[in-house]
Amino acid sequence: MVPTLSFDRLRSILVATVTHLPDHRTQPNRIYEMADAALGAFAVFFVQSPSFLAHQLDMQRVRGQNNAQSLFGIDQVPSDGQIRNLLDPIIPEHLTPPFWRVFEHLRDGAYLQAYQGHLGQWLCALDGTQYFSSQKIHCAQCTVRVINERPYYSHSLVAPLIVAPGENRVIALEPEFVRPQDGSEKQDCELRAAERWLRRNASRFPVGALTLLGDDLYCHQPFCELVLAQHCHFVFTCKPESHPALYQEIELLTQAGGVFEVSQRRWTGQRHEIWRYRYATRVPLRADPQPLYVNWCEVTITDEATGELLYRNAWATDHALTESGLHSFVIAARTRWKSENENNNVLKNYGYHLEHNFGHGQQYLALVLVMLNLLAFLFHTVLDLCDEQYRRVRTELAARQTFFHDVQALTRYLYFDSWQVLINFMFTQLELDTNSPSPPRKRAKRRS
Ligand SMILES: [Zn+2]
């Protein structure tokens, strides 16, 4: 029997990891445990409030109890400075286990059945995101570029996400950072980071069950060969400007009748669209004495009434392409866009908390905080998948900000015994009914 993924269950997964973080203090100050520092930063991200810990210290003074302790299990509420000092020496790899424990619980609890339909595969979108840049602030893990003799510092990562067509929730997996690599002369980059991730994690999935989705950057012969060597599949955007040899071949094949064309008329509920597919099998990915042969598919979508071009893209893949499978292939390929939207939200909008609360750190802090931020995002996604009450409250407070504003205000002024008690309080106050399913609701939807 797989236990339900309640908030407390998720928190215990995190606690199991953070209680074993190495303590680098030469004279350990036993008032603040490492776990308190990690849970403190996590709590700030989870409620999306830079002031959460300060408010809980106030509450502790006035009431003798606080929500940091009751909701998150933080023994002694640390200050931002203490969090910075304690977490800065921690290598981010220490925080990878919760990503996989959560994924395994979701998978084994059959919460992810909707994620395995298309192509019979897990679809994993690879997406590189730069989440920090500065001309002044930097740390040992920054990527440095010198432009006009001035250094530019940045942080980026590859955040792999399990996605599914028609499913707006994405499951964050362990990320891989673009950062200086020991013993390497070359500057690290997104593609090399993705290679490391794949070598480390491909075996976590059954042989042949993982399809990687990515943009044109990944559509690169050595990377595609690595994907195949790791017994995975790929569907990567394939642009003409970066694949001249492949497109030359497509042109020759077109003249020889070797490119298949299919048109489908599709009703969206609002308009008729014409989906025009062109596809070819076994074309060389690049000019090379030993090219990798891939299958190629292009789709052009136009509005039937106006002729307006709505969408055009092309992909290279190792999956077999058949006429009957073209539509679901393209639908699967396009789910990659979800990762861009979701990640940009998480990493860019929440960047505020990263820098303003805790500073940049000198060793690993900027990486550790992103790991905790991604875990907070993952936990919200999981609750949305698994916890009906949470989902109903979120739906009711549909504008994202409202939910968090309410959580922030409530936890500032009121004490709750647990996260579940807090959600239950919101659920009751919003007069949501456990017996009626999600919308339609009895009242008009609130706006912000
Ligand atoms: Zn840095």
Tens digit of pLDDT for each residue in 155-179?
Answer: 999 989 999 988 888 899 999 999 9
Q: How far, in Å, is the centroid of ligand 1 from the Cα of 124?
A: 27
Higher pLDDT pick, 16 / 350 = 16
Instruction: Quote the ligand 1 centre to 21 CA distance (angstroms).
Output: 21
Residue 351 has pLDDT above 70, yes or no: no
- pLDDT band at residue 340 using 50, 70 and 90 as cut-offs: low
CA of 215 to the centre of ligand 1 (A): 26
Residue 31 CA, ligand 1 centroid: distance in Å: 29
Name the DSSP class of 16.
H
CA of 141 to the centre of ligand 1 (A): 5
pTM of the entire predicted model: 0.91
pLDDT tens digits, 261-279: 999 999 999 999 999 999 9
Report whether pLDDT(342) > 70.
no
Q: What is the pLDDT of residues 57-72, one digit of tens each?
A: 999 999 999 999 999 9
Identify which has the larger pLDDT, 447 or 255.
255
Percent share of the chain, pLDDT over 90: 74
Greatest Cα pair distance in the chain: 81
From ligand 1's centre to the CA of 379, what distance in Å? Answer: 26
Ligand 1 centroid – CA 54 distance (Å)? 26
CB 53 within 8 A of CB 79: yes
Report d(CA 32, CA 83) in Å as an integer: 9
How far is ligand 1, taken at its centre, from the CA of residue 194, in Å?
20
Examine the pLDDT at 431 and tell me if it is beyond 90. no
How many angstroms separate the alpha carbon of residue 101 from the centre of ligand 1? 28
Ligand 1 centroid to 314 CA: how many Å?
36
How confident is the model at residue 185, as a pLDDT? 76
| pLDDT > 80? residue 225 | yes
Instruction: Output the average pLDDT for the chain.
Output: 89
Beta strand 150-158 with 122-125 is unpaired
Distance 367 CA to ligand 1 centre (A): 8
Report how far ligand 1's centroid is from the alpha carbon of 154 (Å): 6
Q: How far is the CA of 155 from the centre of ligand 1 (A)?
A: 6
Q: Quick one: pLDDT at residue 17?
A: 95
Angle between helix 326-334 and helix 336-343 axes, rounded to 10 deg: 10
Higher pLDDT, 54 or 342: 54
Q: What is the pLDDT of residues 96-147, one digit of tens each?
A: 999 999 999 999 988 888 888 767 799 999 988 888 888 999 999 999 999 9
Of 72 and 181, more confident: 72
Within a 10 A sphere around the Cβ of 11, how many other Cβ atoms? Answer: 21
Q: Output the pLDDT for position 271.
A: 95
Q: Tell me the CA–centroid distance for residue 140 and ligand 1, in Å.
A: 6
- pLDDT tens-digit series, residues 359-403: 899 999 999 999 999 999 999 999 999 999 999 999 998 776 789
What's residue 289's pLDDT? 93
DSSP annotation of 291 reads P
Q: Which two tokens stand for residue 344?
A: 């940009």
**Which pLDDT does position 130 carry in this prediction?**
86
| Predicted pLDDT at 345 | 61
Distance separating alpha carbons of residues 301 and 308, to the nearest angstrom:
9
Least confident range of 34-38, 40-44, 180-184: 180-184
Residue 425 is classified by DSSP as H
In one letter, which amino acid is 40? Answer: G
> What's the confidence (pLDDT) of residue 401?
73
